Amino acid sequence: MLEIIVFSTLNGVLYGMVLFMLASGLTLIFSMMGVLNFAHASFYMLGAYFGFEIARRIGFWPAFFVAPILAGVVGALVERFGLRRVHKFGHVPELLFTFGLAFVIEEVVQMIWGKLPVDYRVPPSLDFTAFRLFDTTYPAYKMFMLLVAIGMFVALLLVLNKTRVGLIIQASLTHPNTVAMLGHDVPTIFMAVFGAGSALAGLAGVIAGPAFVTQPGMAAALGPILFVVIVVGGLGSLGGAFAASLLIGLVQTFAVAINGSLADIFGASAADWFGDLGTVTVAQIAPIIPYFLLVLVLIIKPTGLFGTRET
Amino acid sequence: MSALGKIAPWIILAILLAVAPFLFTSGTSRTMLSIMALSIIFALSYNMLLGQTGLLSFGHAVYYGLGGFVAIHAMNTIIRNKYAIPLPVIPLIGGAAGLFFGIVFGSVSTRRAGTVFSMISLGLGELVASSALILRTFFGGEEGITTNRSRLAPFLGYKFGPQIEVYYLIACWCFICILLMYAITRTPFGRMCNAVRENPERAEFVGYSARMVRFIAFSLSGLFAGIAGGLAALNFEIMNTQSIGAAQSGLVLLMTFVGGAATFIGPIIGAILITFLQITLSDITGAWLLYFGLLFIIVVMYSPGGIVGWLALHEPIYRVGQLGRLVPAYAINAIPLIVMIIGGILLIELAEWALVKAESDGPETSIFRIPMSTNSVLPWIAGVVLFFGGALALRRTWPLVQDAWGAALARLREQPA
Amino acid sequence: MRGLLASSFIALSVAAGSALAADTIKIAYIDPLSGGGASVGEVGLKHFQWLADQINASGGLIGKKLEILGLDNKTNPQESLVQAQKAIDQGAHFLTQGNGSSVAAALTEFAVKNNDRNPDKQVLYLNYAAVDPVLTNDKCNYWHFRWDANSDIKMQALTNYMKDRPNIKKVYLINQDYSFGESVRTTARKMLKEKRPDVQIVGDEKHPLLKITDFAPYVAKIKASGADTVITGNWGQDIALLLKAAADAGLQVDWYTYYAGGAGGPTAIKQSNIPDRVFAIVEGVPNDEPSDAQKLEEEYRSKFGGELRVGVWYPRVVNEVRMLAQAIKDANSDDAKAVAAKLEGMKFKTFMGGEGYMRKDDHQFFQDMYIANFGPMPAGAKFDEEKTGWGWKTQGIVKAKDTELPTTCKMDRPS
């Protein structure tokens, strides 16, 4: 029992941190530009595939640095030549543009790398067990992922709060017109933020690729959960995204461990009253619990747990 | 507009629907026409939300799918108990289910508009789609639920076995639904939907609750989506969880948007075009999904009003007789545009073959019925030249269109109002 | 007006597209050729094309050539019905499919309704991989034939092998939460109870289909239960990720699977470094094929295997096409009804050299089943999987007769 709790907590926190790496970039982009980037998980996928290619030819550590930059460059180009054009049509076309973009990126990835998972491996330098607890081992690579995620969060906080660039970005978040009037090149800032957000997603992809499967469907698998995180945490709030990522990561991981169902509470006749719902276990519905949360939060508090904006 | 002018489009529509299966007689064509007809209803119901009330939903397939499932269970119950309910009534049952779920889910979805609404629709859509695999008795699990439409009581002597009979049933429903949905846009309620889309705060000053307007629009849209689902149930005689999922929601969004959300006819054209592409494009190329995505992006970037929206831009010009000015400009621009498109397709097809199929099928292939090899440089160079050459030429000739438009608009402004 | 434009667009293309049926015998392959299932769908198509080439090279069938039509159903049942219609328009009498019991259910019902409503355009549905038992039980019909042992038969063979293994004491079941996974777990429970009542079932887990990216929590539960054996019907990424997570956590159990040999499976096993512990129930093991089959295996791998030298995944497709060819020759016609009459009850020598037969009662093909495990190969073995250097090794054979199960099928036979 204790074993399950300890490992579920570790795995839950890890999953939550990966979600946060993605959600942080998305929050930044959304806060700045009001664009809910449907294709954000696609940059995560691009990061994983770029990482795979570079790791295959040169090595994991070069991939670790270069792949996120590549993903960021692609993001910046998308913003400059695509999103900027659509910006003047309003928020709905922007959303739809990113929707179509997610599609196209997935298809192109499938064309280039094939439809099957690729063999993106944990680098040998990190391929050992970190510790052994209650007869179960925990891989060091996952500890590495945890470290990178925490490091990224700290770096983000520092940049936003302590540097000049961060100050300007924070100002653009709430008063873009004023910032423009002060002489800052707001479109370039937008492009830079979109690129940086995509780079963060790419970084998540580079390190998550070996641990989770690297395949063309990985963006579509993580995409909806990402939106749940953003909305539940609160649109535009970085701290909210952090809290929501951990919450959802932990909830999903723990739910899997629970085998209880309504039948356990109400007895065997639950099947008669509730039909299929009576015998379904919590573990079976674990992956859809986030959507319950989403709908609940949106009904009760549409600004999310920590957010202040609705759009 | 004269009385005849008002009725004429409906007569033409009725004639087209009646005559279509005799223009295209193969089994596949008739199946495709049936699917087009019910997709039209589905897309129009979606546009009640998107185009008319400004609500972008990512989970509309829920009402379509649930309508279909209820309809198919109803059919099986009727068959089992030998009730005297004929087949043509079944879509109504689907519609009732769509309306019911539209009301239930709408009550929570429509509290807010904008991004929050879209996110709720996404969450609900995923929720229902995921639950579908768990609630196995209703949704039939992986295999879905099947039925046999010719085992219901005959209607006017018809058992609706052959596809042509089913087509006419669907076409009748299509006509009725188009009529009804068009009528709704002409009512004060329809106008209020437009008002809520444009400026909800101001709309409330008129005295209507924006929330109630959205709620009713949502429920009605669920009703028609349910009818489309019921028709799908009797057309395919199988309902499966894929009809409820994100892919189906994305498809109706694609249809409506590419056709044109800003006009009434837009979704009709979009439904016809996308259904046609969906059924025939995959026979021609393996990269059809890529083309769909690119089509979507191009429409979003260059014509967010869709195909019909773009055509509708020309209406005032046509009315002052200035269309003649634009035609030569378009004709000249069409050439580099077509060249660019051909170049683009060539590159995509070459890439698709080289990356996906060449390993096992060899580098020889034929594109546009011209044999070529992905190993030789020539086709690639041709593709690049055509694409970039076309793009550069288009850049040069585009000002002609802008000038022509400028002149036409100037003429328009000169006209007395 | 705009509708007219669209309509004429359609007219031109469709009229141009409706092919005149040339004089060939057509098999319509209806499986995913784009999207998620395409990697598997394309392999199946290659099998059929390869076999058709062989038959045509030796003169074709009853004077006609065999032609394979590849139709993309995008793993969607409703889309499959449209593709089936296209196949019939092009003159095909034989539809074949395997990926997804959902599609299979739609196609088998379609075959019945089509043959009933259009007696001049009858078709047979040849099922090469959809293993839902219901297709040869409650939903059986005269026009459907299945060449893959259904999931109950596979479990029968598997449990017949397991009952003689005393080291199996505690079994954990983990399966995908849908009809196939459900049937695997219920049949496993039933058969284990009959054959080895001493075996304890210490866990019975259902997880959502193809949605889990991290199986670590599930592996933790398996660990906690103290199981020594895991039975799973998982396929695709669900088996690959499960094995990965197990390796990460250092879980030491035996895995009895259906689909560990699927795309990506061998790579995952090798990556997880668990030699000889993953078993699969299959109808063919490449290294134990008779020599004529091994020659064909080599030919397939060089021509179609691609970079990873993917092998003949579906010996049952070989059986299907060969038996169809035989039936057409025996009936001297490619008419669906005539061929069906020859197919049912047919005895045939399978790709692996064993004696197989198509049972008349339910149109299910019975063949020898092999329990193989995956690990380093003995010297002289020719075929490894996915360039890992490891291969499948036969650990047990269950003869066709011993895999038989009763059926509830009562099919309407045409007069």
pLDDT at B102: 96
Take residue C354 and report the two structure tokens written for it.
Answer: 């064993």
Rounded mean pLDDT, A178-200:
86
Cβ contact, residue pair C217, A117, below 8 Å? no
C180:B142 CB<8 A: yes
pLDDT at position B17 over 70? yes
> What does the pLDDT read at residue C8?
41
CB B241, CB B229: distance < 8 Å: no
| Cα of C403 vs its chain's centroid, Å | 17
The tally of CA atoms less than 13 A away on the side-chain side of residue C105 is 26
User: Could you say which of A117, A212, A288 has the minimum Cβ distance to residue C264?
Assistant: A117
The proportion of chain A whose per-residue pLDDT surpasses 90, expressed as a percent, equals 19
Q: Which residue of B has its CA nearest to C108?
A: B146
Top residue of B112, B126, B201 to mutate, by most chain A CBs within 10 Å, is: B126
Contact (CB<8Å) C14/B280: yes
Residue at B327: amino acid letter: V
Tell me the chain C residues in contact with residue A4 when contact means C-beta distances shorter than 8 Å: 217, 220-221, 224
Spell out the SS3 assignment of chain B.
CCHHHHHHHHHHHHHHHHHHHHHCCCHHHHHHHHHHHHHHHHHHHHHHHHHHCCCCCCCCHHHHHHHHHHHHHHHHHHHHHCCCCEHHHHHHHHHHHHHHHHHHHHHHHCCCCHHHHHHHHHHHHHHHHHHHHHCHHHHCCCCCEECCHHHCECECCECCCCHHHHHHHHHHHHHHHHHHHHHHHHCHHHHHHHHHHHCHHHHHHHCCCHHHHHHHHHHHHHHHHHHHHHHHHHHHCEECHHHCCHHHHHHHHHHHHHHCCCCCCHHHHHHHHHHHHHHHHHHHCCCHHHHHHHHHHHHHHHCCCHHHHHHHCCHHHHHCCCHHHHHHHHHHHHHHHHHHHHHHHHHHHHHHHHHHHHHHHCCEEEECCEEEECCCHHHHHHHHHHHHHHHHHHHHHHHHHHHHHHHHHHHHHHCCC
Chain B: list its partners (3+ Cβ pairs within 8 Å). Answer: A, C
Give residue A173's pLDDT band: very low, low, confident or very high (50, 70, 90).
low
Contact present, B44 and B183 (Cβ < 8 Å): no
Q: Is C295 exposed, middle or buried (0-12, 13-18, 19+ CB in 10 A)?
A: exposed
Cα–Cα distance, A284 to B124 (Å, whole number): 18
DSSP string computed for chain A: -HHHHHHHHHHHHHHHHHHHHHHHHHHHHHHHH----TTHHHHHHHHHHHHHHHHHHT-HHHHHHHHHHHHHHHHHHHIIIIIHHHHTT-HHHHHHHHHHHHHHHHHHHHHHH-SSPB--PPPGGG-SEEEEETTEEEEHHHHHHHHHHHHHHHHHHHHHHHSHHHHHHHHHHH-HHHHHHTT--HHHHHHHHHHHHHHHHHHHHHHHHHHS-BSTTHHHHHHHHHHHHHHHH-TT-HHHHHHHHHHHHHHHHHHHH---BHHHHH-TTHHHHHTHHHH-BHHHHGGGHHHHHHHHHHHH-TTTTT-----
Using the predicted structure, report yes or no on whether residue C82 has a pLDDT greater than 80.
Answer: yes
Q: A182-186, B6-10, B126-130, C132-136 — which is least confidently predicted?
A: A182-186
Q: Going from the N-terminus, what domains does chain C have, and what CATH number goes with each? A: 22-149+291-302+309-367 (3.40.50.2300), 152-282 (3.40.50.2300)
Place of tokens 């191009």: B298
Q: Bridge partners of C135?
A: none
In this complex, do B272 and C82 lie within 8 Å of one another by their Cβ atoms?
A: no
- E strand or H helix that includes residue C221: helix C216-225
pLDDT tens for each residue of B358-399:
665 667 777 777 787 777 888 889 889 999 999 999 888 888
Interacting residues of C136 by C-beta distance below 8 A, sequence separation 6+: C144, C146, C150, C362, C363, C364, C407, C409
Q: Please indicate if any CB of chain B lies within 8 Å of the CB of C342.
A: no
Domain ranges for chain B:
3-288, 315-414
Nearest CA to B130 among A288, A255, A55, C341? A288
Mean of all residue pLDDT scores within chain B? 89
Residues of chain B neighbouring C131 (CB-CB closer than 8 A): none
Q: Chain-wide mean pLDDT for chain A?
A: 83
Asked whether the predicted pLDDT for residue C33 surpasses 60, the reply is yes
Read off the pLDDT of residues C141-159 as tens digits, 9 standing for 90 and up: 999 999 999 889 999 989 9
Considering only the top CATH level, what class is B3-288? mainly alpha
- C1 by Cβ neighbours in 10 Å (0-12 / 13-18 / 19+) ranks as exposed
The answer to whether B163 faces chain A, any CB pair under 8 Å, is no
Contact B124, B222 (CB under 8 A): no
Task: Please name the member of C206, C240, C251 whose beta carbon is closest to the beta carbon of A117.
Answer: C240
Indicate the residue of A136, A212, A215 with minimum beta-carbon distance to C250: A136
Average pLDDT over residues A25-42: 84
Give A267's pLDDT tier (boundaries 50, 70, 90): low
pLDDT tens for B291-306 read: 999 999 999 998 888 9
N-term to C-term CA, chain A: 43
pLDDT number for residue A263: 58
User: Does C269 contact chain A (CB < 8 Å)?
Assistant: no
Which of B111-120, B167-176, C60-69 is predicted with the least confidence, judged by mean pLDDT?
B111-120
- For C304, the enclosing helix (H) or strand (E) is helix C291-304
- One DSSP character per residue, A16-45 reads HHHHHHHHHHHHHHHHHH----TTHHHHHH
Q: Residue C4 has what pLDDT? A: 41
pLDDT of residue B366: 75
Identify whether the C-beta of residue A248 lies closer than 8 Å to the C-beta of residue A228.
Answer: yes
Considering only CB atoms, which chain A residues are within 8 Å of C247?
none
Q: Amino acid identity of B143?
A: E
For A253, which of C217, C224, C240 is closest by C-beta distance?
Answer: C217
Identity of the highest mean pLDDT range in A204-218, A249-263, C335-349: C335-349
CB contact A123 to C (< 8 Å): no
Q: Does A222 contact C at CB distance below 8 Å? A: yes
Query: Tokens 């029992």 map to which residue?
Result: A1
Is the separation of the CB atoms in C81 and B279 below 8 Å? no
Instruction: Report pLDDT digits (tens) over C378-415.
Output: 888 888 888 888 999 999 999 999 888 999 999 988 87
Percent of chain C with pLDDT over 90: 48
Cβ pair A295:B123 closer than 8 A: yes
Which is nearest to A133 in space by CA: B53, B125, C249? C249
CB atoms within 10 A of CB C341: 16
Confidence category of residue A265, pLDDT binned at 50, 70, 90:
low
**C174: nearest CA in chain A?**
A284
Q: What is the distance of C-alpha A12 from the center of its chain?
A: 14
Q: Is B32's pLDDT higher than 70? A: yes
C99-118 residues touching B, CB cutoff 8 A: 100-102, 104-106, 109, 113, 116-118
Instruction: Report which DSSP code applies to C178.
Output: S
Task: State residue C212's pLDDT score.
Answer: 76
pLDDT of residue A308: 66
Q: How far apart are CA B228 and CA A206, in angstroms?
A: 44
Q: Tell which residue, A143, A303, A146, A149, has the closest CA to residue A233.
A: A303
Q: Spell B48-60 as b/e; 16+ CB within 10 A means b.
A: bbbbbbbbbbbbb
Average of per-residue pLDDT values in chain C: 87
Say yes or no for a CB contact (<8 Å) between C220 and A7.
yes
- Coil, helix or strand for C348? strand
User: What's the burial of B320, exposed, middle or buried (CB within 10 Å: 0-12/13-18/19+)?
Assistant: middle
Residue C16: band (very low, low, confident or very high) from pLDDT cuts 50, 70, 90: very low
- The residue in chain A having the minimum alpha-carbon distance to the alpha carbon of residue C178 is A284
Q: Does A131 touch chain C (CB under 8 A)?
A: no
Q: What is the distance in angstroms between the Cα of B12 and the nearest Cα belonging to chain A?
A: 33
CA B174 to chain centre: 14
Facing residue for B355 by CB, picked from A112, A224, A231? A112
Residue C3 pLDDT > 70, yes or no? no
Mean pLDDT of the region B317-324: 81
DSSP assignment letter at C122: -
Segment B186-213 shows an average pLDDT of 91
In this complex, do B296 and A99 lie within 8 Å of one another by their Cβ atoms? Answer: yes
Q: How confident is the model over C278-332, as pLDDT tens digits?
A: 999 998 899 888 988 888 898 888 888 777 788 888 899 999 999 999 999 999 9
pLDDT category, A110, cuts 50, 70, 90?
Answer: confident
Q: Sort B358 into a burial class: Cβ within 10 Å, 0-12 / 13-18 / 19+.
A: middle
Tokens describing residue C359: 């049972």
Q: pTM value?
A: 0.87
- Phi/psi at C413 (nearest 5 deg)? -95, 135
Of the candidates C193, C184, C192, C189, the one whose C-alpha atom is nearest the C-alpha of residue C159 is C192
ipTM: 0.85
pLDDT of residue A278: 64
Average of per-residue pLDDT across B322-343: 87
Contact C33 B286 (CB under 8 A): yes
Q: Is it the case that residue B415 has pLDDT exceeding 80?
A: no
Q: Do C217 and A116 touch (CB under 8 A)?
A: no
**What's the confidence (pLDDT) of residue B417?**
60
What pLDDT sits at residue A161?
84
Burial of B361 (0-12, 13-18, 19+ CB in 10 A): middle
**Å from B166 to nearest chain C CA?**
13
Residue whose pair of structure tokens reads 């990402």 in the numeric block:
A226
* Interface contact B141-C106, CB threshold 8 A: no
Note whether B295 contacts C: Cβ–Cβ < 8 A. no
**Token pair 């909800």: residue:** B200
C3/B contact by beta carbon, under 8 A: yes
Q: Residues B132-140: what's their mean pLDDT?
A: 83
- The predicted pLDDT at position A118 comes to 81
- Using CB atoms, which residue from B31, B161, B162 is nearest to C85? B31
- CB–CB contact A107 B290 (8 Å): yes
Q: What is the CA radius of gyration of chain A?
A: 21
- The answer to whether C39 contacts chain A (CB < 8 Å) is yes
Average pLDDT of the segment spanning B114-137? 85
